[in-house]
């Protein structure tokens, strides 16, 4: 049985740990575009059997992805067409799971999307140094990667501040992109999710399962559970 003094020390430690979890942006800095190693190491990969959590992790650590659209270009009309696009699902440590984009009507992908908003987004841990460090080939499922399908939609007024903050904190250069290009904020409205994180084929995750993952609350619970057993 923990005494009163022991209990309050525990509560203090718990609140210190929680405040660390709740304000991760400070420790991540948010300015080192595409580089989790500097100044803070990338958080550890969630358990591979928790595919929804792995998917949220891959989305969150990704600064870019390959977005496949159906081409509207005359030479390849109706054919698949992929381009690299910068994205963000939120400030470091506070991901929403929603991939946000900063797009211009001048981009080929956007011209495609104007005709057909369906798109497929691929993100891979190959863009971090996780796979190189562990000597996982990008095509190996051990180098976790995910495919998200859905439609690209413009972000509404309410969501725009979050989209803008999420993108600009991780891609500071975007602030300087020429306004004459008519940039706008968009997101992928996810309908299907495939997770490649282990042998045996892709795992299917529903958008409900994906958005249900609460990374920080889960981590908080783990810490509190740990403290209870002290």
Ligand X SMILES: *[C@@H]1O[C@H](CO)[C@@H](O)[C@H](O)[C@H]1NC(C)=O
Footprint of ligand X (CB under 6 A): 151, 153, 156, 158-159, 189, 191, 208-209, 212
Q: Which is nearer to ligand X, 107 or 149 (CB)?
A: 149
Q: Measured from the CB of residue 55, what is the shortest distance to ligand X in angstroms?
A: 12
Q: Measured from the CB of residue 161, what is the shortest distance to ligand X in angstroms?
A: 11
Q: Which is nearer to ligand X, 73 or 224 (CB)?
A: 224
CB atoms within 10 A of CB 205: 24
User: What is the distance between the alpha carbons of residues 184 and 174, in angstroms, rounded to a whole number?
Assistant: 11
Identify the DSSP state of 45. P
Cβ atoms of 102 and 171 closer than 8 Å: yes
60-98 exposure pattern, b = at least 16 Cβ within 10 A, e = fewer: bbbbbbebbbbbbeeeeeeeebbeebbbbbbbbbbbbbb
Q: Measured from the CB of residue 117, what is the shortest distance to ligand X in angstroms?
A: 8
For residue 187, CA distances in Å to 63, 72, 91, 100, 117 come to: 14, 20, 15, 4, 11
Q: Which is nearer to ligand X, 173 or 208 (CB)?
A: 208
Distance of alpha carbon 160 from the chain centroid:
17
Beta bridge partners of 151: 118, 189
Q: Measured from the CB of residue 46, what is the shortest distance to ligand X in angstroms?
A: 13
Q: Which is nearer to ligand X, 19 or 158 (CB)?
A: 158
Q: Measured from the CB of residue 213, what is the shortest distance to ligand X in angstroms?
A: 8
Q: Which is nearer to ligand X, 8 or 212 (CB)?
A: 212
Q: Measured from the CB of residue 36, what is the shortest distance to ligand X in angstroms?
A: 26
User: What is the distance between the alpha carbons of residues 122 and 24, in angstroms, rounded to a whole number?
Assistant: 26
Q: Which is nearer to ligand X, 156 or 228 (CB)?
A: 156
Q: Which residues contact 83 (CB under 8 A, 6 or more apart)?
A: 66, 67, 69, 107, 108, 109
């Amino acid at each position: 049985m923990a005494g009163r003094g022991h209990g309050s020390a525990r509560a203090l430690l718990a609140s210190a740990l929680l405040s660390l979890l709740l304000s991760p942006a400070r420790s991540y800095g948010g300015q080192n575009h595409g580089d989790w190693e500097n100044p803070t190491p990338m958080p550890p990969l969630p358990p591979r059997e928790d595919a929804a959590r792995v998917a949220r992790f891959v989305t969150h650590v990704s600064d870019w992805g390959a977005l496949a659209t159906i081409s509207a270009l005359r030479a390849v009309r109706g054919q698949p067409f992929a381009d690299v696009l910068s994205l963000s699902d939120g400030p470091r440590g506070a991901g929403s799971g929603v991939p946000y984009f900063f797009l211009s009507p001048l981009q080929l992908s956007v011209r495609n999307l104007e005709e057909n908003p369906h798109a497929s987004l691929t993100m891979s841990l190959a863009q971090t140094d996780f796979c190189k460090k562990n000597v996982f080939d990008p095509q190996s499922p051990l180098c976790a990667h995910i495919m998200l399908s859905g439609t690209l939609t413009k972000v509404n007024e309410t969501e725009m501040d979050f989209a803008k903050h999420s993108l600009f904190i991780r891609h500071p250069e975007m602030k300087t992109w020429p306004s004459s290009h008519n940039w706008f904020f968009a997101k992928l409205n996810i309908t299907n999710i495939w997770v490649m994180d282990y042998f045996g084929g892709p795992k299917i995750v529903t958008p409900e399962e994906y958005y249900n993952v609460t990374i920080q609350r889960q981590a908080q619970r783990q810490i509190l559970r740990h403290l209870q057993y002290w």
